[in-house]
Structure 1
Amino acid sequence: MSGGDALPEVSLRLLEIFAAMMRCATTVEAAEQLRISQPAVSAGIRQLETQLGLALFERTGRRLVPTAEAKALHAEIRPVFGIMRGFAQRARDMKLGMAGRLKIIATPPLGYSVAPVALRNFLDARPDVSVAFDVRRLEQVRDAVQSGQADIGLAIDRGRHAALNSDILQRSHMVALMPKDSPLAARPHVSALDLAPFPMIGLEAASNLGQLVRSAYESVGAVYAPRIEVRYCATATALAARNLGVTVVDPYSASIHRGEDLACRPFLPACDINAVMYTRRGVPHSGLLLSFMAELRAAVADADLLAPLPAPPA
């Protein structure tokens, strides 16, 4: 192909100046719309005409009148500017956390309690956002965030991890669940010794929370011998709601069956736990992620989960 047959290389900036001139009567008006100088507009039009080898405007006094060729070309490029406006709008929405896709993973206590509340508020205000939401075990939540498979992880945890940012949402403590008609329900708090005579729904010994409860029992000389052993606090809560025994769980799992025939009381010795948000260390938070984190903090703050522990003896 000879040099004369080569397609002209036209920049988006020149097309933007051309489109502004098609909308405006003078170069001064076009310059004001584009927020550039009037000479820059005139120079841009001359450069575009040179590149295309076409006269785009006829000079009539201070006005530029579009030629037939200019009108035809303008019809061709109109969709381009619609795409550009859509691109800019999408980028702005992403920056403000109003568009995009968020990947969330949680352990059951937060995944079945405060996370859905935050997610509902988050999505109601953002119709252009989609979410991938999964509930897994603690180790899988950590791994997913560390590997980048999830943008944020939610869990009950007590430690810190070198590869993850761990932001505490709330400091809380384990609670005891028993039937509302149990004599234990009349007490302001319930100890491991109080629960010992009743059938126990316990957490598996290999879990972090299971080890925490077992240590609390052992510290006061109580025997921790679950009649039913389960993996998740949510499972223990569901079984307790069916009157299969008493249990000690986190307050978020306890809230899932609130309103059923269960009484919830602070458990002693106190088992302190933290609700945390994991994010990948060294990776900036997107506007979308920051927006969800704000909704999550608000959901936790609004949740009425924790009864106060008794004051320690003087």
Structure 2
Amino acid sequence: MNFKQIETFRAVMLTRSMTLAASQLHTSQPNVTRVISQLENEVGFALFERVAGRITPTVEAESLLVEVERAFVGLDSLADSARSIRQSGTGSLRVGAVSSIAMSIIPEAMRLFTERYPKVPVVIHTSGSSSVAKWTALRYCEVGLVSFLSDIPGIEATPLRKERGVCVVPGNHRLARKRLIRAADLAGERFISLPQGSSTRLATDAAFETDARQLMMETPYATTICRMVGLGLGVGIVNPIVSRSMKIPGTKAIAFEPAIEFRSYVLRPTNTPSTRLARAFLECVDQAWPAE
């Protein structure tokens, strides 16, 4: 007994006609007759009585139809599930991201993603680039968004953006009117820095040949730097996506020289095709990225 035989039997039972069943199945009437005959041989009893050119289902056929309908209800359910997957996605999505992206880009990306997939739960895990890379390599996260690359195996990296760092100063600061701030302009300024050991901290420190800054505070979060600047606690250099996204009152972001690059990358597990949801989320990240 195969699906073609069951499908043909069901069509004949519902139409009570070999001819109409053939039309519904886009085949010929003789072919329907042949398939029904094969099915009768398979089950070992007659399914239809043929009287004066018309067919009448047997009692056995009516009983068999009940079981067939149960099976087709299951198939209809599968079709509904496939339609739901096609339209809304399925399962959940885990994303790992460094704090600068998690706090600036992810909220707007989630708004866009939720508009497309309102029933899909998403979990955002935030940590440093190395931890995000480990999560991605272990397939704990389908997507990782990081600010630098590590040598952790099991991941594929794709460049996402390259931004030039900006100097964030209070809105009423003496440097707030400048269009470009140079390292020498920060002599004597209270400086709020990213922590020792980070790649961006190394690049920032290297920009100052004679370091006359007053290194007063350290924090791993660019958003915290911006908030502190807004409160008049000092100045800092951050990834411009943070200043553009957060728009913290009382601050002004100004171009800085020498150039300090802030790079970001997308990480995926190796040898693992991206899911539809992961691809859609990255599209939303791209749309959410603030323009210069």
Q: TM-score range by the shorter chain?
A: 0.7 to 0.9
Residues 259/228 of structure 1: CA separation in 2 closer, same or farther (3 Å cut): closer
Q: In the alignment, is residue 17 of structure 1 matched against residue 8 of structure 2? A: yes
Question: Given the alignment, which residue of 233, 237, 243 partners 1:244?
Answer: 233
Q: Distance in 2 between matches of 1:168 and 1:63?
A: 70
Aligned to 1:284: 273
The change in CA–CA distance for 1:11 and 1:247 in structure 2 (over 3 A counts) is: same
Q: Are 2:130 and 1:130 equivalent residues in the alignment?
A: no
Query: Which 10-residue stretch deviates more, 57-66 or 167-176?
Result: 57-66
Unaligned runs of 5+ in 1: 1-9, 307-314
CA contact (8 A) 2:188 2:212 kept: no
Does the aligned pair in 1 maintain the 2:133–2:150 contact within 8 Å?
no
Evaluate the alpha carbon distance shift between residue 171 and residue 23 of structure 1 in structure 2; reply closer, same or farther with a 3 A threshold. farther
Match of 2:284 in 1: 295
Structure 2 vs 1, CA of residues 122 and 44 (structure 1 numbering), >3 Å: closer, same or farther?
Answer: farther
TM-score if structure 1 supplies the norm length? 0.80
Q: Identity across aligned pairs (percent)?
A: 26
TM-fit CA distance, 1:159: 7.1
> Does structure 1 retain, via aligned residues, the 8 Å contact 2:189–2:234?
yes
Q: Counterparts of 1:158 and 1:267 in 2: how far apart (Å)?
A: 24
Contact 2:129 2:149 in 1 (8 A): no
For the residue of structure 2 that corresponds to 1:285, the secondary structure is coil
Across the two proteins, how many residue pairs are aligned to each other?
A: 292
Which of 180, 184, 193 is equivalent to 2:175?
A: 184
5+ unaligned residues in a row in structure 2: which ranges? none
Q: Give deviations 1:105-124, integer Å, cap 9, x for gaps.
A: 11111112222222221222
Q: Does 1:103 align with 2:94?
A: yes
Residue 192 (structure 2) aligns with: 201
Partners in 1 of 2:94 and 2:267 — Cα distance? 12
Instruction: From the superposition, tell whether residues 159 and 80 of structure 1 become closer, same or farther in structure 2 (CA, over 3 Å).
Output: same
CA distance, structure 2, for counterparts of residue 276 and residue 145 of structure 1 = 12
Which letter does structure 1 place at the counterpart of 2:190? Answer: P
Structure 1 residue 45, shift from structure 2 partner: 2.9
Amino acid at match of 1:253: V
Residues 1:264 and 2:263 aligned together: no
Matches for 1:12-91 after TM superposition, within 5 Å: 12-34=3-25, 41-60=32-51, 64-91=55-82
